[in-house]
């Protein structure tokens, strides 16, 4: 109640409550400033081992000093004393400038080995000055919910297996979280992608009728990138695709890469590069040139190595590709394939709509022809049967 004291803090008014505790606005009577106090659940406060672990982790979290992260001031009993952020929670759709600030906050945390594990619009505040503040870093890692009906709680924490826990908010958790597996910073990258989707579309990506339906969608549901606004920049689409890849090895490996793309786009919308593929930030045009050269050299080399020398003469060729339809990759395999007679080229290109398709053309012609039913196909290989047909 208002007027209650907790150490040197005087409670002024309640701010909210959820599965991870109750939050109050309070006054620090020693420093004469307002703070936010989160009173932790009894299940945590009454367990000496969990409380000791929480205190150790709170010290690490208190070391986070970043303009886009709400500061932790200290612990008072079973309560966490935090910076009081004035503003409102993130409303979607939202500008990409906010996404950049969220990425900066996660980058600072990940550099200290801290994983949020519960990133969602409800944990993101925006001040009247447009400054983003990410809240509740690490609380989902230590606060174990043992009471109440999970279906009625905005934050789901339940036993999944003997060796794993499902912790986080169902609609925003990563597939590995949803299946109770160990997580690393790539879980936050997935959640960032889900929040970015909502910022672009104004709609939740996963919004099942129940938590079980939502978790099923997180694990296996299709992600229709055609539902993004038509004017979504290619560089931003690419970031989103990499963040929302269920394959951990193919998912974006560092939130810093997303931050760089967002920062470059906001500084120069016309010249922003796509997200780096393997930790190498190549400019988009340079990546296209490198991929084209490698693909053509590889195709011609293969042809030269396999042709009967006595029957086939040396062929020299130039293959011009439409400048507005870039090659899709610079690593992992060739994006071009040449028929054994050197007369036909197959190539994977990304169209203006953002979709990747296979295209073919005769080298003595200039017209590229898209192959129906090849959306999403990559790394073409020309078989003997196909080119003869």
* Greater model confidence, 79 or 331: 79
Q: What is the mean pLDDT of the chain?
A: 79
Specify the range with the lowest mean pLDDT, choosing from 191-205, 267-281, 366-380. Answer: 267-281
Specify the range with the lowest mean pLDDT, choosing from 120-129, 170-179, 251-260, 295-304. Answer: 295-304
Q: Which two three-digit tokens encode residue 287?
A: 């990546």
Q: Which domains does the chain have, with CATH numbers?
A: 5-267 (1.10.510.10), 284-388 (no CATH)
Q: Answer yes or no: are the C-beta atoms of 102 and 109 closer than 8 Å.
A: no
Specify the range with the lowest mean pLDDT, choosing from 102-106, 212-216, 311-315, 371-375. Answer: 311-315
Asked if the model's pLDDT at residue 277 lies above 80, the reply is no
pLDDT at 169: 85
* Greater model confidence, 167 or 309: 167
Q: Answer yes or no: are the C-beta atoms of 179 and 57 closer than 8 Å.
A: no
Asked if the model's pLDDT at residue 101 lies above 90, the reply is yes
Specify the range with the lowest mean pLDDT, choosing from 2-11, 48-57, 277-286, 336-345. Answer: 277-286
The residues pairing with 357 across neighbouring beta strands, listed in sequence order, are: 349
Q: Give CA–CA dist 107/253, Å, rounded.
A: 12
pLDDT at 93: 97
What is the per-residue pLDDT across 314-366, written as a single tens digit (0 to 9) for each?
A: 555 566 666 666 666 544 455 677 776 667 778 787 776 777 888 788 766 76
pLDDT at 18: 66
* Greater model confidence, 18 or 183: 183
Q: Which residues are marked as active site?
A: 118
3-state helix, strand, coil in the chain (%, to 5): 35, 20, 45
State the first-to-last Cα distance of the chain, in angstroms, to the nearest integer: 81
Asked if the model's pLDDT at residue 151 lies above 60, the reply is no
Q: Answer yes or no: are the C-beta atoms of 345 and 319 closer than 8 Å.
A: yes
Q: Which of 54-63, 101-110, 308-317, 370-379 has the highest mean pLDDT?
A: 101-110
Asked if the model's pLDDT at residue 310 lies above 60, the reply is no
pLDDT at 28: 96
pLDDT at 289: 47
Q: Answer yes or no: are the C-beta atoms of 194 and 244 closer than 8 Å.
A: yes
Q: Give mean pLDDT, residues 208-235.
A: 95
Which residue in the block uniquely carries the two structure tokens 């930790």? Answer: 279
Q: Answer yes or no: are the C-beta atoms of 188 and 117 closer than 8 Å.
A: yes
């Amino acid at each position: 109640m208002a007027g209650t004291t907790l150490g040197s803090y005087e409670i002024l008014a309640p701010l909210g409550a959820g599965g991870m505790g109750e939050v109050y606005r309070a006054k620090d009577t020693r420093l004469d400033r307002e703070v936010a106090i989160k009173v932790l659940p009894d299940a945590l406060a009454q367990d000496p081992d969990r409380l000791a672990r929480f205190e150790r982790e709170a010290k690490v979290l208190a070391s986070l000093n970043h303009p886009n992260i709400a500061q932790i001031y200290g612990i008072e009993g079973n309560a966490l004393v935090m910076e009081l952020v004035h503003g409102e929670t993130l409303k979607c759709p939202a500008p990409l400038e906010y996404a950049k600030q969220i990425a900066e906050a996660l980058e600072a945390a990940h550099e200290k080995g801290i994983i949020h594990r519960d990133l969602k619009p409800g944990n993101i505040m925006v001040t009247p000055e447009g400054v983003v503040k990410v809240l509740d870093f690490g609380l989902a890692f230590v606060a174990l919910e043992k009471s109440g009906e999970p279906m009625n709680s905005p934050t789901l924490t339940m036993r999944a297996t003997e060796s794993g826990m499902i912790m986080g908010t169902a609609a925003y958790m990563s597939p590995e979280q949803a299946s109770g597996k160990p997580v690393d910073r790539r879980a936050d990258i997935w959640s960032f992608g889900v929040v970015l989707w909502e910022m672009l579309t104004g709609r939740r990506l996963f919004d099942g009728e129940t938590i079980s339906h939502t978790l099923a969608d997180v694990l296996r549901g299709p992600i229709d990138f055609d539902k993004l606004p038509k004017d979504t920049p290619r560089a931003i689409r690419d970031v989103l695709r990499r963040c929302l890849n269920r394959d951990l090895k193919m998912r974006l490996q560092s939130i810093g890469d997303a931050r760089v793309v967002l920062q470059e786009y906001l500084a120069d919308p016309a010249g922003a590069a796509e997200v780096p593929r393997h930790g190498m930030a190549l400019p988009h045009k340079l990546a296209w040139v490198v991929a084209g050269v490698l693909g053509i050299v590889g195709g011609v080399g293969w042809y030269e190595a396999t042709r009967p020398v006595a029957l086939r003469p040396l062929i020299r060729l130039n293959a011009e590709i439409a400048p507005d339809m870039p090659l899709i990759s610079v690593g992992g395999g060739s994006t071009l394939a040449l028929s054994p007679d050197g007369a036909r080229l197959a190539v994977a290109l990304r169209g203006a709509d953002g979709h990747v398709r296979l295209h073919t053309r005769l080298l003595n012609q200039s017209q590229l022809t898209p192959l129906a039913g090849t959306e999403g196909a990559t790394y073409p290989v020309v078989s003997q049967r196909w080119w003869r047909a």
